[in-house]
Amino acid sequence: MTDTLNRTTLRDVARKAGVSLGTASKALNKSGTLRAETREKVLVAARELGFRPNDLAQALHRGQSYTVGLISNDSFGRFTMPIMEGLERVLHEEGIALFMCNATDDPAREQRHIDQLLGKRVDGLVFTGRRADRRAAPGVALGGVPALYVFAQSDAPGAACLLPDDEGGARLAVAHLLNTGRKRLAHVSGPEDFEAVRLRRAGFEAALAEVHMPVHPDMILHGAWSEAWGRAAARDLLNRAEPPDAIFAGNDQIARGILDTLHDRGLSVPGEIAVIGFDNWTIMAEAARPALTSIDMNLDALGEEAGRRIVRMIRGDTVSGITRLPCTLVRRASTTQ
């Protein structure tokens, strides 16, 4: 019997099955020509002994480990988790396992994770985060391992990046508000140093310009990604000589704050003022009163597309440049009665 303090080896499996070491190896690696009963005898012995193949050795032998590493700095998981679910779903269908590492905002920690994943001979790396802005390329050579950025961008030339179409999502929001008969639109968003904020503002302005409606810069407000900012911005807008009849918020947290202020002022939503958010963070949008119409970035679908692309890259296809996937509008009671 194998010493329980030591790992079961291939030699132990061969001895228990009564076959040679080479036969045991062929049976477990599904290689060579063996009788079905011989192969089954080896597999039964391996199961009974709890034998686990040396994945690293097998990866070196076949040139593929069937693993992908995911590195994120999104500690809260708001954006990473739905991306990971879509990514893992596609990889699972391909027989590929996903390893996830949290790098927070520590470059040294990220490099350590990369080193460890490369040491395990992962077939590809996926980088994601809590914001989609451009970031520095890893400070360690990847040795030719394919790398894909999802809800993130890299300053490396030709890097493959997958992003939601923030500008297109903003256009959807404005078109929806206009279709409900709104005439005076305001936009309350987050910090201007976020690329997503700038793109959503650009979409807001472009959508108004397309229907020849004036863009009033004083009706575009920037602040923090918070409900507190949404409440403060709404108070500001309501104190104007001509307050808006619709507000497009840069995210659902801001929108929730706006709804708070409208409720405090006794204004009906959407009767007097319609409100639409961005992100379609279900826990925020569905719990709002009234339930919040929002733009969905389709992060799960973004993850699925990331899975398909990293598989193509692992197989040798060239994938490069920035691709933006469309957002969708999710209608709820804050804009339609």
Q: What is the pLDDT of residue 2?
A: 42
- Give the Cα separation of 209 and 178 in Å (integer): 12
DSSP lists the bridge partners of residue 293 as 276
Decide: pTM greater than 0.85.
no
Q: Tell me if domain 10-53 and domain 63-164+299-324 are identical in fold.
A: no
186: pLDDT strictly greater than 90: yes
Cα-based distances in Å from 166 to 29, 57, 78, 170, 195? 47, 44, 17, 6, 9
Lowest average pLDDT, out of 51-55, 150-154, 295-299, goes to 51-55
More confident residue, 117 or 256: 256
Q: Tell me yes or no: is domain 10-53 CATH 1.20.210.10.
A: no
- Give the Cα separation of 16 and 14 in Å (integer): 6
Superfamily of 63-164+299-324 according to CATH = Response regulator (3.40.50.2300)
- Residue by residue, DSSP assigns 8-72 as --HHHHHHHHTS-HHHHHHHHHT-S---HHHHHHHHHHHHHHT----HHHHHHHHS--SEEEEEE
Task: State the pLDDT confidence band at 252, using cuts at 50, 70 and 90.
Answer: very high
Share of the chain above pLDDT 70, in %: 93
Q: Which pair of tokens denotes residue 272?
A: 């007097």
pLDDT tens readout for residues 203-214: 999 999 999 999
**Domain ranges for the chain:** 10-53, 63-164+299-324, 166-297
- Give the Cα separation of 321 and 13 in Å (integer): 49
Q: What is the pLDDT of residue 133?
A: 87
pLDDT tens readout for residues 257-310: 999 999 999 999 999 999 999 999 999 999 999 999 999 999 999 999 999 999
Q: Tell me yes or no: is domain 166-297 CATH 3.40.50.720.
A: no
Letter for the amino acid at 163?
A: L
More confident residue, 20 or 235: 235
